[in-house]
Structure formats: C-alpha cells, structure tokens
Structure 1
Amino acid sequence: MGHWVIVEEHVDRLRGVERFEGTREEARSRLYETACAHRFAEGLQQRRREVFRVDDDTYYVEIKGSLGKYRLRYYLAERVWSTEAP
C-alpha cells in the first residue's frame, strides 16, 4: 500500500485534488475517474471534455466551457518520504 496524491496542473498552478492510501492499481483507477469527472472550477459550464492518456500515471484534459477552453494535466504522485511516523 502506498500513500498517493492526485495532482491537478493548470497553467502554472499545482493543486492536490485528493490524498489516499492504496495500491498502484487503485491509484491509477482513481486518477482516471478524476480526469474524467473532476470539476476543476466552480461555476464552470462544461460543454465538452476530452481526456488523453499521456502515460499510466498522467492524463491531459481539455475542457470546453461557455467562456473558453481549459487545458489541465492530472497525475499521480506517490509519497516516498515523510517526517510523519509510520
């Protein structure tokens, strides 16, 4: 079991969307679900969403909204070190 975070990247902003514990397969499944359904902005009226797999741990997403197009990247990060005791 690993400790994971799904990271959303938009322009020059990084944001942790979700933290959880699980296997790599579970983490990849949650990443895919997030790329397909995550609401990246409140009030965004999504008209179309396209999801592209870059590799097993990264998705590129284009969202067409009523005011323009948004390009995001969602990827997995696994915690490899922490000051927190196990």
Structure 2
Amino acid sequence: MSEIDLEFRGIKIDHLGMYFQELGAIQVTDTFPFIYEAEGWSGQILSEEELAFTAIFKVNAVKVRFIAEDEDTLMKVIKNYRYKTTRIGG
C-alpha cells in the first residue's frame, strides 16, 4: 500500500469530491473524512480549515489523502487529480 497526503487551497470541498468521482471513485461517507473508493485506489478528504493571510484575504485549506495498492497507481491518480485542481490565473 502506498499513501500520500496533500493540501489544496482555495478549492471547495464539493469540487474536490467531484474530482474523485470524475476519476471513477464512488463516495462512501457523507461526513469527515469523506471517503471515495475506486478499483485499486481510494481518496479521502480529511479536514478543512480557513487560513487568513490578511484580515480580508482568507482561503480554505483542505487536507486530502490518496491511497493505492502500488506506487505507480498512486502517482497516476495524483497526476490526474492535479490536472483537475489546476487553476490558471490571467
């Protein structure tokens, strides 16, 4: 088993869960930790907190865990998930 925890900022939990579903996972729980399971891997949304950079500028920080049967599967899932979380400024 391989596992990695990452933190995503400024993305709603609903969207992070939807990205797991778009990669083929099924939501198993409706409360923290939100668990999504697929064949050979799973994802968990562990927690959310608000970070304040200034009195006005605040963003959410969400801890997400990726678990897979092997390292190759884990890296593939994370790569595909990161594509979905990429935000391009302009």
TM-score (norm 1): 0.42
Query: Could you tell me the TM-score, scaled by structure 2's length?
Result: 0.40
Give the structure with the higher percent strand: 1
Q: Which has the higher helix share?
A: 2
